[in-house]
């Protein structure tokens, strides 16, 4: 399996929201989870220090992607796309009764805070979520990693992601809510 692209400037990463499914062949998937409730099904992929979350209902599909520069993504079904340049919130409602909200922030850290965040999230991930680390890409004693925590409720899916980039001693944190009416 090839190593993920982690030595990218944070502001070059792209957040995209699609109203369509995306093919797994477009991504290098390091870990995945499938969730199923009576109202929806979700696919969560860790794609390096990036992610894809796709949610399917009987009538709709919504896919949230954080991608690196050069990632091949379709233009069909694109609802929103923006770069990581400071905190941001976004909200949208689809006519099929699916509401979506996301907030994210970019946090520059000290090396000690970065290490402690790694330890805390690694420990937390033993009981829930998906934690993927890339020790072969360690920079200055700091490992890149991606942690995705999720809570599947009957009519909601909560996603929290933490993507850590050691070269910049920076973490991108996202919180997303998929709400099914």
96 falls within a domain: yes
For 108-131, the pLDDT digits (tens) are: 999 999 999 999 999 999 999 999
Across 103-107, average pLDDT: 94
Number of domains in the chain: 1
121 falls within a domain: yes
Measured between alpha carbons, how far apart are the two ends of the chain, in Å? Answer: 40
92 falls within a domain: yes
139 falls within a domain: yes
Q: Residue 3: what pLDDT?
A: 64
93 lies in which domain range?
A: 10-180
Burial of 6 (0-12, 13-18, 19+ CB in 10 A): buried
Prediction pTM value: 0.92
For 57-78, the pLDDT digits (tens) are: 988 899 999 999 888 999 999 9
30 falls within a domain: yes
68 falls within a domain: yes
């Amino acid at each position: 399996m090839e190593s993920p692209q982690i030595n990218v400037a944070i502001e070059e990463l792209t957040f995209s929201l699609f109203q369509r499914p995306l093919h797994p062949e477009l991504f290098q998937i390091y870990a995945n989870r499938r969730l199923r409730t009576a109202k929806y099904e979700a696919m969560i992929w860790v794609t390096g220090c990036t992610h894809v979350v796709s949610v399917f209902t009987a009538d709709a599909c919504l896919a949230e992607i954080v991608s690196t520069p050069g990632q091949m993504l379709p233009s069909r079904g694109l609802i929103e796309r923006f770069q990581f340049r400071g905190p941001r919130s976004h909200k949208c409602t689809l006519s099929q009764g699916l509401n979506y909200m996301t907030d994210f922030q970019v946090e520059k850290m000290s090396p000690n805070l970065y290490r402690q965040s790694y330890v805390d999230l690694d420990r937390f991930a033993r009981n829930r979520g998906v934690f993927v680390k890339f020790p072969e890409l360690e920079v200055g004693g700091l490992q890149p990693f991606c942690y995705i925590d999720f809570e599947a409720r009957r009519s909601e899916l909560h996603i929290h992601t933490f993507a850590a980039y050691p070269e910049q001693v920076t973490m991108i944190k996202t919180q997303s809510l998929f709400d099914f009416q």
